Amino acid sequence: MSGNKKEKKTTKKKRKNILKGILVVFIIFMVITLGITTYFFQKYGGFVGEVVKIVKDVKNEVIKVEDSITVLVLGLDFGDLEQVENKDIKRTDTIMLAHFNPNTDECQIVSIPRDTQITYKNKKWKINSAYPLGGEKLLKQLMKDMLGVNVDYVVKVDYNGFRQVIDAIGGVEMYIDQDMFYDDWEQDLHINFKAGDTVQLDGKKAEEFFRWRQNNDGTGLPNGDLDRIKNQQKLMGKVMDKIMSPSTIWKIDSLAKAIEENVDTDLDLKTIVSYGLEFLELDKANVEMSTLVGESVYKDNLWYFMYDKEENAELIKKLKDNSKNKQSNDLKDILREDVKIKVLNCCNINGLASEVKSDLLEIGYDKVEIDNGLDIEKTKILVKENKYKTLMNNDLVVKNIEVGIDKKYNHNDEYDIVILLGKDYLKIGAK
């Protein structure tokens, strides 16, 4: 391949990564906004009237966040068109890490190229195949191996939800700067906007505006994708303004449904609110977007992106901040063989508690007892102190962890950790 072709390919990839970055920031913003809006609505019945008082009240009530948080954002492709609801077989079109440090008020958003080469079961793969191969657990392990980062939470997104979210908020109003006339009959895509008009964009029209780059006669944006990204940023700004407006509170049900159907996350409401309030006060200058450094290599009839650890040393350093070191120091004081754990089967699946006990024994926990409990929907872990929460976050996949153990689970205060296995249980397992 000639130098010019390589340069064009690199520029094209950079532009695609910028576009994906905009989408990921939008998705994170939506999840945070929905969480905070839901919280306010449940507690106060809405925003109207006393917004400042409400925010101050909530800030006093929610957990004061000090530790950094790392969220793995996965944008899933269409997968098998005959099994569109089966997300387990979908590949990841987008993989990003969002790392937020509330102490320094800095956020790093790192794009992982989908062609990054990985090794799984002695075979070479592209990282976009990791999700159907090994799910979230494999991707979390890959992030740890490549970047030395423990992923705290995962957000999975189906981009088909774009239209539904726009429709749920009642659409947005957009001024059209220039003619947009384009038809793609194969995709049943027909774009028809006239310069100078102000248009109310519903979900379908917003997607048309989002995708347009040139007209049928070849005229259009002089800088191609770069100018299209500017249009997309304008649209995102309008959408974010609409989501944050008081009128949206009355559409919370439809907005929640749209996001719920297309965004999966293990972030709980309290965590979203606690970190979200901090995140929404961030200076935009403190949000840094970057892409892993490496090179494209043609190998075995396929293009792979080869990740270079040395070239990414500065980026890795930014992802490892003081709060993570604080977690490591906390763990130095704990011996796993001394931790007393009780596992309760709360979902009537035979042998489940024994399976989890075996997993815990494998990673060094010697004092594990099992029993049955009353049925619950969601698996959760109860810990006596914060240091045990740090331990569980470090060792297990389950993230629904609460500090404080109810006496009904710990009569004589003999357990440090109680694990309640709910109906949603899949696999705890070591990280």
Q: Kindly indicate the confidence band of residue 284, based on its pLDDT and cuts at 50, 70 and 90.
A: low
Are 421 and 354 in contact by the 8 Å Cβ rule? The answer is: no
| Residue 218: closest CA among 176, 181, 177, 178 | 181
- 369 and 270 housed in the same domain: no
Q: Kindly indicate the confidence band of residue 287, based on its pLDDT and cuts at 50, 70 and 90.
A: confident
In a domain, 7, yes or no: no
- 157 and 132 housed in the same domain: yes
Per-residue pLDDT, averaged over 39-68, amounts to 50
Q: pLDDT digit string (tens) for 13-26?
A: 444 444 444 445 55
Domain hosting 369: range is 336-428
CB crowding 95-134: b at 16 or more within 10 Å, else e? bbbbbbbbeeebbbbbbbbbbbbbeeeeeeebbbebbbee
C-alpha span between 49 and 27 (Å, rounded)? 28
Cβ neighbours for 182, distance < 8 A, ≥ 6 positions apart: 189, 190, 191, 212, 214, 215, 216
CA 213 centroid distance within chain: 28
Mean pLDDT across the chain, nearest whole number? 75
- 141 and 252 housed in the same domain: yes
Question: Over 60: is that where the pLDDT of 171 sits?
Answer: yes
Question: Over 80: is that where the pLDDT of 132 sits?
Answer: yes
Task: Quote the percentage of the chain above a pLDDT of 70.
Answer: 66
Question: Over 70: is that where the pLDDT of 355 sits?
Answer: yes
Lowest average pLDDT, out of 125-134, 265-274, 299-308, 353-362, goes to: 265-274
Q: pLDDT digit string (tens) for 386-395?
A: 888 878 877 7
- Sign (positive/negative) of CA torsion 216, 221, 222, 224? negative
- 199 and 282 housed in the same domain: yes
Q: Kindly indicate the confidence band of residue 417, based on its pLDDT and cuts at 50, 70 and 90.
A: very high
Residue at a domain's end among 276, 292, 326: 326
- 242 and 161 housed in the same domain: yes
Residue at a domain's end among 265, 300, 326: 326
Per the structure, the count of domains in the chain is: 3
- 74 and 163 housed in the same domain: yes
Question: Over 60: is that where the pLDDT of 120 sits?
Answer: yes
Which pLDDT value is given to residue 341?
94
| Number of residues written out for the chain | 431
